[in-house]
Amino acid sequence: MKNRGVLIIAMAMMMVVAIFFVTSTIFAQVADHQKISSTQGGFTGALDPGDEFGWAPGNIGDLDGDGNTDIAVGTPFDDDGGSDTGAVWVLFLNSDGTVKTSQKISATQGSFSGPLDAGDEFGHSVAGLGDYDQDGIEDIAVGARLDDDGGTNTGAIWLLFLNTDGTVKAHQKISSTEGGFTGVINGGDGFGHGLGRLGDIDGDGVDDLAAATGHFMEPGIIWVLFMNPDHTVRDYQRISQGEGGFTGDIDADASWVMTWMHWVTLTVMGFSPPSSS
């Protein structure tokens, strides 16, 4: 029997999220699709030219408990609170991939009280965390790669603990000056360029995170963040060329390529591989 999953393709230049329903044959086949934009897919949120809605989509599980997967969409050049401050849209989906309702999280909306500044690019990356604070509600991590904690454009991560309506109940910032993180981040590093949920890799009962730094013409770094129960960072491991046991050869332009890959971001949601039997 074929399993049905969802493949989301975000095209930020066109401010579009395309949802493809795929079947788990050896090569995924598109069974259906749904476009979400300012004019299609039931989305009624206000988007402005240059917002780049769709820059970073993330699977956030069934936030409202209706049996359908919901998504968060990064819009890093939204101007709520200042030019390019950024925003995230939480989209509650119908089973056909259209938007039932939405909630914006920004410097001025969604009950988010964390200070954001113009140019932070909040929403440059988005990752679902599962129920991180164990209150029965899904949570998310959001990258603000040009946050200025500790230096110009050093970057930051925001952990957002959500209510079922997509508003923010609480938050934890992780940067060079907050959240217990002691790794060295330099000006221009763009910590939070990318994010990933790792699960509990060190077996201490707390899920861990991965965060990327990187900008034009530099190889980039992955930071594995070992988390405390209070959502601060207990320890970390830096992975880059020649560090953290990584022996691969990364060219200086690799980050350049990965940066442009953000124009077309692929996120696989709920897709099960075929059985080997």
Q: How far apart are CA 272 and CA 132, in angstroms?
A: 23
pLDDT at 214: 76
Neighbours of 25 (CB within 10 A): 10
Exposure string for 136-157, b = 16+ CB within 10 A, e = fewer: ebbbbbbbbbbbbbbeebbbbb
- Extract the tokens encoding 38: 């300012």
Do 214 and 207 touch, CB atoms closer than 8 A? no
Using CB atoms within 10 Å of the CB of residue 254, give its burial: 0 to 12 exposed, 13 to 18 middle, 19+ buried: middle
Tell me the CA end-to-end span of the chain in Å, nearest whole number: 12
Q: How far apart are CA 194 and CA 116, in angstroms?
A: 18
Q: How far apart are CA 74 and CA 153, in angstroms?
A: 18
pLDDT at 92: 98
Global pTM value: 0.84
Q: 122 pairs with which residues across the strands?
A: 86, 144
pLDDT at 264: 34
Q: How far apart are CA 39 and CA 56, in angstroms?
A: 19
pLDDT at 241: 81
**Which segments within the chain are labelled E, that is strand?**
4-11, 16-23, 29-36, 56-59, 71-75, 87-93, 99-105, 122-130, 139-144, 156-162, 168-174, 194-199, 208-213, 221-227, 233-239, 264-269
pLDDT at 246: 84
Q: Dihedrals φ, ψ of 242, to 5°?
A: 80, 5
Please report, in tens digits, the pLDDT of each residue of the chain (277 residues total): 344 444 444 444 445 555 555 555 555 577 788 999 999 999 999 999 999 999 999 899 999 999 999 999 999 999 999 999 999 999 999 999 999 999 999 999 999 999 999 999 999 999 999 999 999 999 999 999 999 999 999 999 999 999 999 999 999 999 999 999 999 999 999 999 999 999 999 999 999 999 998 765 467 889 999 999 999 999 999 998 888 888 877 665 554 334 333 333 333 344 333 333 4
Q: How far apart are CA 226 and CA 204, in angstroms?
A: 9
